[in-house]
Amino acid sequence: MKTIWVLVVLMVGVVNLRGAECRKAKKRVENTLEYSAISCRAHSASITDYGGIGDGKTSNTKAFREAISHLSRYEADGGAQLFVPPGQWLTGSFNLTSHFTLFLHKDAVLLASQEISEWAVIAPLPSYGHGRDTAGGRYISLIFGTNLTDVVVTGENGTIDGQGALWWQQFHKKKLKYTRPYLIEIMHSDNIQISNLTFLNSPSWNVHPVYSSNIIIQGITILAPVTSPNTDGINPDSCTNTKIEDTYIVSGDDCIAVKSGWDEYGISYGMPTKQLIIRRLTCISPYSAAIALGSEMSGGIEDVRAEDITAINTESGVRIKTGVGRGGYVKDIYVKGMNLHTMKWVFWMTGNYGSHADSHYDPKALPVIQGINYRDITAENVSMAARLEGISGDPFTGICISNATIGLAKKAKKVPWTCTDIAGVTSGVLPKPCSSLPDQGPEKVGMCSFPTDNLPIDDVEIKKCSYRMG
């Protein structure tokens, strides 16, 4: 009898203990946010630890600058993560640091300051020589980083809102003193992740990695009015080993614009964009391209691999833009799997893109456009299959298009292809291409190449990280 009682008491005790442990564990899970990243961090803080107030009115510029400046002390000690909780966090520009993660809760919104005087002016990019809006300097980006390594900007689809209307007005009224800011610019940096965020209403370009390498951009939504000026989605610019995946973009300019510097400045800087993967992009941009290469391509663009691209109402699918004076090259471009609806031109190449940095460009600097491969394309409601214009005396060569079925719109142009100063081959393409792209016969339908080797960015290990809310 006694032994039985002891057993019962013991067992009840064990059950109780288990229950308590369970509750404790559950609570811990509820207060922990998990995310995927190239590096996890040893130290954590919240913007509220630095006096941040998420009421949509109070400026948090000082809080962000102090927080990151303080957390930069942990660069060599496991790194740090800065958490932005639910709220509307008005802020001016701030700079990132190395071995650092900025993490936005799903209900966190960074609101860009509307005081133009609060935006510092920095020098034009050396590979451009000039700002894009005005000849002089440029307003620093909302989130800026230079000469960094190992930086993560991520969230659970939290929002970065550029409140761009003010800037678009200033641009249209020609009142800007300097080139408009971007939402995020990372320069001269290595090992960068920008993921699971929404970017709204950027003053100009949204995401601009430049002179950088080993970059993962994933799970990004970019939204801006389709009439807003120059609101490019993502602009990899003189970057190596970059991956852009699972991205949804509605904007007023090219969804992805691959660049590498402008005319004589880009030629002398000489830094190409190469080893670029673009996968699972959805784009809506009625006046621009889903993917543009150029027009600033003077440092060269090579080895671009685009796959599973959906465009719903764009001006063109893939567009190569260049001109006399650009120099540089666009070569070894591979596009496989495009599903396209409603556009003027599926394929567009322009060799007469005018805009120059200044009048000092070299008229003998002719771009080389070579080895452009497109395959497995279906398109509907298209005005013209292609408009391909090379440069007289400098033809665009090695164009390969295979397995492309292009459904023309009711009000399509009479001639579906126009081709000048270009050369290449086709197979299994409808409607029938121009004579400078002769058909190689139906058995060659798989002929346009797409690389099967991995780029190093696909081998980067992604870790499970967490942030425990205080």
Ligand X SMILES: *[C@@H]1O[C@H](CO)[C@@H](O)[C@H](O)[C@H]1NC(C)=O
List, by residue number, the catalytic residues: 253
Which residue in this structure is represented by tokens 């995927």? 36
Per-residue x/- marks for ligand X, 315-344, CB under 6 A?
A: ---------------------------x--
Euclidean distance between CA atoms 285 and 249, whole angstroms = 8
Output the CA angle 324-283-183, nearest 5 degrees. 75
> For residues 145 and 371, which CB has a smaller minimum distance to ligand X in the complex?
145
Q: What's phi and psi for 133, nearest 5 deg?
A: -90, -40
Sequence-distant (≥ 6) Cβ neighbours of residue 53 within 8 angstroms = 60, 63, 87
Q: Which two tokens stand for residue 376?
A: 């497995």
DSSP, collapsed to helix, strand or coil, labels residue 79 as coil
Query: Shortest distance, CB of residue 209 to ligand X, whole angstroms?
Result: 14
> For residues 49 and 66, which CB has a smaller minimum distance to ligand X in the complex?
66
- In this chain, which stretch among 9-17, 139-147, 345-353, 449-457 interacts with ligand X, using CB under 6 A? 139-147
Q: Which two tokens stand for residue 177?
A: 């003193």
Sites for ligand X among residues 144-173 (CB under 6 A): 144, 146-147, 154, 157
Residue of the chain from 40, 409, 455, 460 that contacts ligand X (CB under 6 A) = 409
Query: Shortest distance, CB of residue 84 to ligand X, whole angstroms?
Result: 15
- Comparing CA positions, the residue from 140, 139, 153 lying closest to residue 198 is 153
Residue of the chain from 58, 95, 268, 440 that contacts ligand X (CB under 6 A) = 95
Phi/psi class of residue 305: alpha, beta or left (left: φ > 0; alpha: ψ in -120 to 50)? beta
Contact between 218 and ligand X by CB under 6 A: the answer reads: yes
Sites for ligand X among residues 278-307 (CB under 6 A): none
- In this chain, which stretch among 110-118, 160-168, 215-223, 417-425 interacts with ligand X, using CB under 6 A? 215-223
> For residues 144 and 361, which CB has a smaller minimum distance to ligand X in the complex?
144
**What's at 51, amino acid-wise?**
G
Per-residue x/- marks for ligand X, 173-212, CB under 6 A?
A: ---------------x------xx-x--------------
> For residues 157 and 397, which CB has a smaller minimum distance to ligand X in the complex?
157
Euclidean distance between CA atoms 122 and 178, whole angstroms = 9
Euclidean distance between CA atoms 96 and 140, whole angstroms = 13
Contact between 221 and ligand X by CB under 6 A: the answer reads: yes
Contact between 420 and ligand X by CB under 6 A: the answer reads: no
Sequence-distant (≥ 6) Cβ neighbours of residue 159 within 8 angstroms = 104, 108, 109, 110, 197, 198, 199, 200
Per-residue x/- marks for ligand X, 355-384, CB under 6 A?
A: ---------------------x-x--x-x-
**What's at 305, amino acid-wise?**
R
Whether 346 and 379 have beta carbons less than 8 Å apart is answered as yes
Name the residues that contact ligand X, by CB under 6 A: 35-36, 65, 95, 120, 122, 144, 146-147, 154, 157, 188, 195-196, 198, 218-219, 221, 342, 376, 378, 381, 383, 403, 409, 445-446
